[in-house]
A and B are shown apart, each in its own frame.
Chain A
């Protein structure tokens, strides 16, 4: 089959790899009909998340049709149309039973690696480095999915892939970010970052009763999309965000602030020698915790800072004094996708939200390397790119010769 393969820092390419197989009786094979590139794929592309290896298949946002199931799979059947949540639930551990599926105790085969980095291991994730399990991802024609009964979520036929695909990650992620804001009637929510997750955070904040949502970014097309959802927008390159936020909230500051930017992860710091090492290497250099710093500073006293943005390593110069003295609540985590699926599917069915509005690019999987480049550099006003693994390459491009690998 064809798959998008990580070939080194800033290098991805389409390669022909073996078709996935059932390896355990609880597995299912999904023929991928749609898959998307996520902002966190860019952290993997950049090599800022350690433990990527040449040959890893990327992609954690994918859906399709079940074509094969293992002997112990009961609820899911061949022919089912499913979406695949990006964090893997075992379905049995205490966390999974509490609905905290991104914290599953049992789904990360490489738990030791994660414990070394983070103290304890969260759930395994598809196509997301070896720290979270090294599972092959879904930017491919087929994908092996694990613990199928606990994870694969059947979706109705009358909704399109475009409407359903983002249930795998960014819609629930934006929704959980808004939920983590603990919104009360009349609240103002400020959202730093109007990428795909920020867009769903804005929409979810309104669904959850926010009176005012203020969206902050610098790309006009992203700010436009935020305005379409009803947000007041601020361009941080042109305006003093802190002052504007005060003006828009009667001088109080937003009741909650979302960091939907994240940062290029800070790398591999371990064991308290990180400080010394950091000075001599690029790996541990501080990158961009700007959004988090700004979010903490801007939040009103006693408010909530919600962080769906992906952080991987160590942060530097986080304003802890502000966090403590203003009595802020910090709420974060990878998304417990599973527990949002029923209610978010209903929102889609009821027409409360149309997730497909964020799609700016549709490309065949063959052109995924090019798509990564466009998405990374935000060329062509790119917000979200959906890939079709089965589109015929020749019918979708005029280029006679396209290199297999595109330097990112």
Chain B
């Protein structure tokens, strides 16, 4: 089955996979236990974080999935829909996106995209441990100033397809950019779960990518605090700050 049809698969209500529920629930319980061994604020923080995780697991809702708005289709494909408004005219955004070579400038998981013909392109993505995954994709729809759709060719390692739509935003606010992606995780559900832990999770990634695109085009750069001075000494506070500051998925 390689035919991936957007919008026809029913969305499952419980968006956490069974394995994930066990992992999240266990983590939450662990945090509560850890919290009980501490005092004061640390105790309160750990136990409340734990409580949220346990209740999420019990409800069959992954907090992560809920937050990242992942929808898991019944065949376990993952569908991502995201939108962003960017303060530039439609034509400019369409032209930028249509030149697929531009995509790695804001799609963090992509190493390169090379346009081989008018409709065929070769995509190289970063994979864990410094490896790469590549596939070919065809443009299946191209309506200038409105919509571009693409689909990986049959037999790809990561079968995927997507489209992007552009529409003038009201009151001169620029362009509404809507992106929709469906992809089939390489090693099933657990594969996606593990990938997610390493920040390779698609919904969050697409959201960050669109924000990066907005900032790239509106401001010319992404704000950062990486490398600023601080009084951090231990690995724990370094790690905690990184956790909070990890606005990027790469």
Contact = CB atoms under 8 A, between A and B. Distances in A.
Nearest to A116: B67
A107 B218 CA distance: 11
Interface of B: 40-41, 44-45, 47-48, 51-52, 55-56, 63, 66-67, 85, 87, 173-174, 204, 207-208, 211, 214-215, 218-219, 221-234, 236-237, 240-241, 244-245, 247
Contact of A133 (B63, B218, B223, B230): B223
B51 A112 contact: no
B231 A135 contact: no
Contact of A130 (B55, B207, B236, B244): B244
A73 B233 CA distance: 32
A227 to B, nearest CB: 39
A19 B218 CA distance: 30
B230 A55 contact: yes
16 contacts: A5-B231, A17-B230, A24-B224, A26-B221, A53-B244, A55-B233, A94-B173, A106-B218, A109-B222, A112-B208, A134-B225, A134-B244, A277-B55, A282-B44, A283-B41, A283-B44
A351 to B, nearest CB: 38
Contacts of A93: 87, 218-219
A108 B222 CA distance: 9
Given A53-B237, A106-B218, A110-B244, A144 B48 contact: no
The 6 closest A-B pairs by CB, nearest first: A55-B232, A5-B231, A130-B244, A54-B237, A55-B231, A281-B48
**Interface of chain A: mostly helix, strand, loop or mixed:** loop
B177 to A, nearest CB: 14
Contacts of A3: 229, 231
A105 B230 contact: no
A273 B55 contact: yes
Contacts, number: 155
Interface string A3-21: 1010101000001011111
A20 B229 CA distance: 5
A111 B247 contact: yes
B190 to A, nearest CB: 24
Contacts of B221: 24-26
Contacts of B226: 23
Interface in A140-175: 140, 144, 146-147
Nearest to B234: A54
A52 to B, nearest CB: 9
Contacts of B229: 1, 3, 17-21, 57, 136, 140, 144
A24 B244 CA distance: 21
A51 interface: yes
B214 A106 contact: yes
Interface in A94-143: 94, 105-113, 116, 124, 130-131, 133-136, 140
A134 B240 CA distance: 12
Given A55-B233, A90-B218, A271-B66, A280 B244 contact: no
A281 B51 contact: yes
Given A9-B41, A21-B227, A276-B51, A106 B245 contact: no
A23 B207 CA distance: 25
B233 A92 contact: no
Contacts of B227: 21, 23
A105 B244 contact: no
Interface of A: 1, 3, 5, 7, 9, 15, 17-21, 23-26, 47, 50-51, 53-57, 88, 90-94, 105-113, 116, 124, 130-131, 133-136, 140, 144, 146-147, 267-268, 270-271, 273, 276-277, 280-284
Contacts of B41: 9, 47, 282-283
A109 B219 CA distance: 13
A58 to B, nearest CB: 10
Given A135-B228, A273-B56, A110 B247 contact: yes
Contacts of B66: 271
A130 B245 contact: yes
Nearest to B68: A112
B45 to A, nearest CB: 6
Given A110-B247, A112-B204, A112-B207, 19 more contacts: A9-B40, A21-B229, A53-B232, A53-B244, A55-B231, A55-B232, A55-B233, A55-B241, A56-B231, A57-B231, A92-B219, A94-B85, A110-B245, A111-B211, A111-B247, A112-B208, A135-B225, A136-B229, A283-B48
Contact of B230 (A116, A136, A282): A136
A133 B225 contact: yes
B230 A124 contact: no
A4 B14 CA distance: 46
A144 B229 CA distance: 9
Given A92-B219, A271-B52, A130 B224 contact: no
A342 B177 CA distance: 36
A270 B245 contact: no
B16 to A, nearest CB: 13
B40 to A, nearest CB: 7
Contacts of B231: 3, 5, 7, 15, 17, 54-57
A1 B45 CA distance: 32
Nearest to A14: B231
A69 to B, nearest CB: 15
Contacts of A15: 231
Contacts of A144: 228-229
Contact of B244 (A23, A47, A113): A113
B56 A56 contact: no
Contacts of A280: 47-48, 51
A267 B222 CA distance: 28
Contact of B224 (A9, A23, A105): A23
Contacts of A57: 229-231
Nearest to A7: B231
